[in-house]
């Protein structure tokens, strides 16, 4: 059940129903890319030999003359995409986050962001969603790299509906856009009519005691954490910050001023990602001390200056402190400081 609310950039459901899905966001993004390819015949897709994993092969099957598999060569692939986009054309580059955001990061910076080219990065296996594959395949620093680059926009959808929405945002936003996607299917929360915008967010649950901010797969953990907290008499507000850069400062600020406590949980290194961004933002906006001298509470969860490991996704995210249990415990701990 859901009903429209006033805050933020779009309608928000009050009670969120999690629906199991068998489609990972990487697949939904690629499926939307195929649909969009019918309408917009001016863009092309570059792949570096993991098309059957990112599902970009679906596009290649339908539009073979607009699909370039450049082989296992992420650096050359990204640079060739820049060349194809040099006169303004939109080019989508598909691959795994670890390779696209690190092996090819210099090309993304100097030859895509700097000349403001319309290159859209489909980046799969974000964070520990690639848990089973081990550290070499877990992009746990991608948000830091990409959000640091001038001109770059960063999106992280949590479900199949917002993954399709992220594709549409990327296509209608001029310049480079990075979209982090997941390896495995989790849940759906949005109805197909839901709309998403650059710089937008969704308040998924209203609460007065603490604001839980997240994006991507950890949104589900935050929602479950809110249920755990409710059983202990704590009402948490949960924000899906699917637009990580730019993020919805207005919604965040309103929620932070209301609850006086912000906990950011992300599937990423703690350093230099959304948690740091929000902490800086809140401090700059003098939210450090609330009306009446009450101290603003803040904490952020993520990989604490460490690497992940192979294993079952749910066990791994729990060990590294971004599961519902860990978020609920951190929230309680934070509120005890009040």
Partner 1 sequence: METATRTNKSVEDQVAFLKKQAQQVRLHIVKMIHKAQSGHPGGSLSAADIMTALYFDILKVDPQNPRWPDRDRFVLSKGHACPVWYVCLALRGFFPVEELDTLRQFESRLQGHPVSTKTPGVDATTGSLGIGFAQAIGMALEGKWLKKNYKVYALLGDGEMQEGVIWEAAASANRYKLDNLVAIIDNNNLQNDGFTDSIMPIEPLDKKFEVFGWTTRRIDGHNMEQVLTTLREAKAHRGSPFCIIAQTVKGKGVSFMENVRGWHGKPPSDQELAQAIQEIEGGLK
Please give the residue ranges that form the binding site for partner 1 (CB under 8 A). Answer: 44, 65-66, 68, 70-71, 73, 75-77, 79-87, 89, 91, 106-107, 110-111, 114-116
The DSSP code sequence of 242-289 is -EEES--HHHHHHHHHHHSEEEEEEEEESTTSHHHHHHHHHHHTT-SB
CB of 51 to partner 1, least distance (A): 15
Cα(84)–Cα(63) distance, rounded to whole angstroms?
17
Least spacing, CB of residue 111 vs partner 1, in Å? 6
* Smaller CB separation from partner 1, 43 or 247: 43
Supply the minimum distance, in Å, between the C-beta of residue 117 and partner 1.
Answer: 9
Of 34 and 73, nearer to partner 1 (C-beta) is 73
Q: How near is the Cβ of 153 to partner 1 at its closest, in Å?
A: 18
Quick one: 17 or 106, whose CB is closer to partner 1?
106
Identity of the residue, 44 or 223, whose beta carbon is nearer to partner 1 in the bound complex: 44
For residues 83 and 333, which CB has a smaller minimum distance to partner 1 in the complex? 83
How far, CA to CA in Å, does 141 sit from each of 89, 102, 125, 232, 314? Answer: 28, 9, 12, 34, 20
10 Å Cβ neighbour count for 203? 24
Return the number of the residue (116 or 325) whose C-beta is nearest partner 1: 116
Work out how close the CB of 119 gets to partner 1 at its nearest, in angstroms, rounded to a whole number: 10
Q: Interhelix angle for 218-230 vs 324-336, to 10°?
A: 50
H/E segment holding residue 31: helix 25-39
Between the alpha carbon of residue 201 and those of residues 69, 80, 211, 335, the distances in Å are 34, 33, 13, 24
Q: How far is the CB of 116 from partner 1 (least distance, A)?
A: 7
The answer to whether 214 touches 203, Cβ cutoff 8 Å, is: no
């Amino acid at each position: 059940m859901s009903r429209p609310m006033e805050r933020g950039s779009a309608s928000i459901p009050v009670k969120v129903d999690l629906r199991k899905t068998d489609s990972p966001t990487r697949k939904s993004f690629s499926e939307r890319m195929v649909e969009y390819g019918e309408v917009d015949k001016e863009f092309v897709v570059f792949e570096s030999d993991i098309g059957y994993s990112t599902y970009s092969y679906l596009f290649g099957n339908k539009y073979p003359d607009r699909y370039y598999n450049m082989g296992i060569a992420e650096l050359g692939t990204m640079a060739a995409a820049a060349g194809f986009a040099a006169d303004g054309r939109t080019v989508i580059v598909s691959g795994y986050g670890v390779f696209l955001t690190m092996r090819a990061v210099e090309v993304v910076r100097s030859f895509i962001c700097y000349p403001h080219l319309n290159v859209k990065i489909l980046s799969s296996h974000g964070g520990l969603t690639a848990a089973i594959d081990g550290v070499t395949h877990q992009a746990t620093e991608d948000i830091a790299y990409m959000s640091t680059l001038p001109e770059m926009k960063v999106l992280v959808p949590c479900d199949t509906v917002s993954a399709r929405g992220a594709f549409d945002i990327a296509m209608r936003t001029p310049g480079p856009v990075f979209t982090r996607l997941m390896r495995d299917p989790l849940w759906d929360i949005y109805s197909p009519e839901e709309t998403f915008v650059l710089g937008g967010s969704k308040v998924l649950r209203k609460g007065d005691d603490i604001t839980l901010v997240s994006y991507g797969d950890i949104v589900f953990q935050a929602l479950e954490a809110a249920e755990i907290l409710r059983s202990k008499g704590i009402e948490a507000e949960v924000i899906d910050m699917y637009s990580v850069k730019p993020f919805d400062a207005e919604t965040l600020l309103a929620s932070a001023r209301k609850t006086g406590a912000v906990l950011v949980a992300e599937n990423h290194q703690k350093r230099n990602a959304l948690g740091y961004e929000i902490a800086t933002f809140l401090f700059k906006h003098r939210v450090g001390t609330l009306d009446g001298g009450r101290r603003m509470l803040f904490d952020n969860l993520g990989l604490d200056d460490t690497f992940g490991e192979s294993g079952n996704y749910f066990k791994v995210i729990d060990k590294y402190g971004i599961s519902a249990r860990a978020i609920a415990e951190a929230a309680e701990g934070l509120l005890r400081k009040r």
